[in-house]
Structure 1
Amino acid sequence: MPQRVLNRIHAFLVLLTERPVSLYAAAALRIGYGLLYLAFLLREFPHRDEMWGPGSPWTPELARQMYDQSGWASVLILSDSRVYFEICYAVALVTCALFLLGWRTRAVSVLFAVVVVSFHARAIFMADGGDNLMVLMAVYLVFTACGRRWSLDARRTRLRASAGKTAGPHGGGVRNQLRDARIILITVLHNCGMFVIAAQVCFLYGCAGLYKVQGPKWGNGTALHYVLNIDVFRPWPELSQMIDGHHLLIAVVGYLTVLVQVAFPFVLFGRLKYPVLIVLLGMHVNIAVLMGLPLFSGAMIVADAVFLPDRFYRAVGGLLRRTVQRAGVMRAGAPPGTAPAAVPQQPGPAG
């Protein structure tokens, strides 16, 4: 029995220090959150001064007073100049784009976290659950190797490898030891970061489900009726009223929501997690449409991607490549369903 425990501990340490896990999931998180925040900043571009700039009702002086008490910080209040704010906004847009593309990801991820925290802290009273989750994930991703896949960094590494410029075992023993220690440190930080992200999502769903269980309206199946009749969260009143008319559907969806959220942390190590993730995807899409909370729903959908294995992302990547190749063949004039002609084999040298 002790030997079995020791073997498991050894296997865990090997996994923690020698192999970075969920590299594709980390890349999906990087792309998802970079794209979400870039779209968010572009959408609010006409209102940027009222939300975060010197013209905001929540003035920089009021923000400084709050930061002295709350501990928050923001680079946006370092100066009250409008020119400074516009420069910060332009830098934020560029940072989100570079983070999305995975260019110098290790450094850009730090800048992305600073951008997200700064904009969140500058308009903290306008934030919702999606903004809070975005802040947490931006900080967590700093510790992950989220630029190893689907990034400009990964492309540059492949080009160097194909050109034979990969770093070999040159240098003295101390240099090799330092390089190995750096690799182990990066691997451990990445694995711990991915574990914290997964734990954060589990904690979020578990707490949300347990909180709903305590409410009588969720217990009697009428909670969604009240949700659909909140004027602030009804971008499509006619659609909300139409759905609210189906009382049985409202009750079933309410009970299913509570069940899925409470059960979520317990189904992650089996195949049952896939239908649960599909149900959660549908739930977040409905929240985005019916309640007008696209940023919150998008942040939750991207967070759920951490639980998909790398083989899923490789399969999706292969499917996309085949789709692009078929589209290229069709644009070239080949009839649909026709495979591209194979290149005839060239004759080798005589003899």
Structure 2
Amino acid sequence: MATEQLSPRARGRHLYALLTEQPISLYAAAVLRIGYGLLYLGFLLREFPHRDEIWGPGSPWTPGLAAQLYEQTGWASILSLSESRTYFELCYALAVVTAALFALGWRTRAISILFALLVASFHARSIFMTDGGDNLILLMVFYLVLTACGRRWSLDARRAARHTAADDGRTRKPPGQLRQARTTLVTVLHNCGLIVIAVQVCFLYGSAGLYKVQGGTWGGGTAMHYVLNLDLFRPWPELSRIADEQTVLLAITAYATVLLQVAFPFVLFGRLKYPVLAMMLGMHLGIAVLMGLPLFSGAMIVADLVFLPDRFYLALRRLCAQALRGTLQYLGIGSRREPSRPTKPTGDGSPATGVLPHQGGADGPADSWETPGSRVPPTRGVR
């Protein structure tokens, strides 16, 4: 029976079960973890030659000015604890290593907290020196602390799979009720975290679209002309000039941008979300190239990926595996046959393929947030 046909009480029970019984979009959470970890790692490496001017002791935004702002905003930063250059370099190295470990999914529960604190510290130290992309990254990494983003495509997942395969039942497990309570708590936090991420993205697009509607330039279709002629956001002046000559295309782009942003929260529950997400991808790529805002565009693209269901990522993984297998066979690397699995007799004397303990199956390896050997329920996508 569809949710719309249920009584209010039955609908409440259905939503409660959806929130507490099993984690949703585990692959999407893993993609967000990998995306934001690599994005911030690339950001730190890109700004490595300018790190002292942006966050270090040599920044025009001095520690004294930062401390005055902290008194007004309530922010804090570990970078302000000392003006020593050695201390700053150690903090920068720690941030680089933590971003890499977060993307790899190593000890994700602890690393996610450390990563969020470091992102907040770098953001608060020099809040006026970046392009705004780190604002969204800051929000998302705090939301990801709540999620089980290390359950898929991570070093934690590989380690849990090995422990599950090697476990012969000797591992001591907590009492059943305690284990169930912990699993339910982790599931609720994960689902709430992903829901908050999805709502945040919807608010971003919806508010941006409604704000544009109020302006005459977007309504008149001339907004893109003014955007392309801002000297501060023209990394490729010749390319901006060529794009500015396409007046009709620019007007269509302006109207389409407003329409997509306003309609975005309303198309996420049907198949229209796929073409809309594809157009959003094109819009953000255009912003990254024409306006020179790769960090902001990358942060928005990664955030959009939360709306793709897990079946999409599983299908993408199969396609990538098939493409890799075909490439290896073409190069003559994967032409050797795999050794057959050992067999053991069944009850009727016929051989049967030997099977290892549960390693995750189609839904991936066991969960590092749970006890070794525990089964991970199937996942749903954020529809």
Q: TM-score range by the shorter chain?
A: over 0.9
Unaligned 5+ segments in structure 1 are none
- 1:177 Cα deviation from its structure 2 partner: 1.8
- 1:49 Cα deviation from its structure 2 partner: 0.8
How has the CA–CA distance of structure 1 residues 202 and 327 changed in structure 2, closer, same or farther, with 3 Å as cutoff?
A: same
- 1:333 Cα deviation from its structure 2 partner: 5.6
How has the CA–CA distance of structure 1 residues 79 and 304 changed in structure 2, closer, same or farther, with 3 Å as cutoff?
A: same
| 1:53-73 deviation digits (Å, cap 9, x = unpaired) | 111111112211210111111
Matched with 2:28 is: 25
Matched with 2:359 is: none
Matched with 2:78 is: 75
Kept after mapping to 2: 8 A contact 1:74/1:118: yes
- 1:149 Cα deviation from its structure 2 partner: 0.4
Kept after mapping to 2: 8 A contact 1:74/1:122: yes
- 1:128 Cα deviation from its structure 2 partner: 3.1
Structure 1 residue matching 2:7: 3-state secondary structure: helix
How many angstroms apart in 2 are the aligned matches of 1:239 and 1:140?
37
How many angstroms apart in 1 are the aligned matches of 2:258 and 2:169?
51
The yes-or-no answer on 1:154 pairing with 2:161 is no
How many angstroms apart in 2 are the aligned matches of 1:55 and 1:136?
27
The yes-or-no answer on 1:93 pairing with 2:96 is yes
Pairing 1:153-172 to 2, within 5 Å after superposition: 153-164=156-167, 170=173
- 1:5 Cα deviation from its structure 2 partner: 2.2
The yes-or-no answer on 1:191 pairing with 2:197 is no
How many angstroms apart in 1 are the aligned matches of 2:130 and 2:164?
44
Amino acid at match of 2:80: I
| Superposed CA RMSD | 2.4
Percent identity (aligned):
64
How many angstroms apart in 2 are the aligned matches of 1:263 and 1:32?
25
Kept after mapping to 1: 8 A contact 2:131/2:293: no
Structure 1 residue matching 2:146: 3-state secondary structure: coil
- 1:330 Cα deviation from its structure 2 partner: 2.6
- 1:332 Cα deviation from its structure 2 partner: 2.5
How has the CA–CA distance of structure 1 residues 79 and 6 changed in structure 2, closer, same or farther, with 3 Å as cutoff?
A: same
Structure 1 residue matching 2:269: 3-state secondary structure: coil
**TM-score after normalising by structure 2:** 0.85
Matched with 1:106 is: 109
Q: Which moved more, 1:159-168 or 1:238-247?
A: 159-168
Unaligned 5+ segments in structure 2 are 351-383
| 1:22-44 deviation digits (Å, cap 9, x = unpaired) | 10010000000000000000011
| 1:84-114 deviation digits (Å, cap 9, x = unpaired) | 1111001001100000000000110001101
How has the CA–CA distance of structure 1 residues 165 and 262 changed in structure 2, closer, same or farther, with 3 Å as cutoff?
A: farther
Matched with 1:124 is: 127
Which structure's residues are more often helix, by fraction?
1
Matched with 2:19 is: 16
Q: Which moved more, 1:260-269 or 1:57-66?
A: 57-66
Kept after mapping to 2: 8 A contact 1:53/1:82: yes
How many angstroms apart in 1 are the aligned matches of 2:169 and 2:159?
11
Amino acid at match of 1:164: D
How many angstroms apart in 2 are the aligned matches of 1:141 and 1:181?
21
How has the CA–CA distance of structure 1 residues 326 and 113 changed in structure 2, closer, same or farther, with 3 Å as cutoff?
A: same
Pairing 1:299-314 to 2, within 5 Å after superposition: 299-314=299-314
| 1:174-197 deviation digits (Å, cap 9, x = unpaired) | x32222111111100000000000
- 1:12 Cα deviation from its structure 2 partner: 1.1
Kept after mapping to 1: 8 A contact 2:19/2:187: yes
The yes-or-no answer on 1:53 pairing with 2:56 is yes
Greater RCO (Cα-Cα under 8 Å, separation 6 or more): 2
How many angstroms apart in 2 are the aligned matches of 1:24 and 1:160?
21
How has the CA–CA distance of structure 1 residues 200 and 24 changed in structure 2, closer, same or farther, with 3 Å as cutoff?
A: same
Structure 2 residue matching 1:33: 3-state secondary structure: helix
The yes-or-no answer on 1:227 pairing with 2:227 is yes
- 1:131 Cα deviation from its structure 2 partner: 1.4
**TM-score after normalising by structure 1:** 0.92
Matched with 1:286 is: 286
- 1:9 Cα deviation from its structure 2 partner: 1.3
- 1:167 Cα deviation from its structure 2 partner: 8.1
How many angstroms apart in 2 are the aligned matches of 1:184 and 1:309?
22
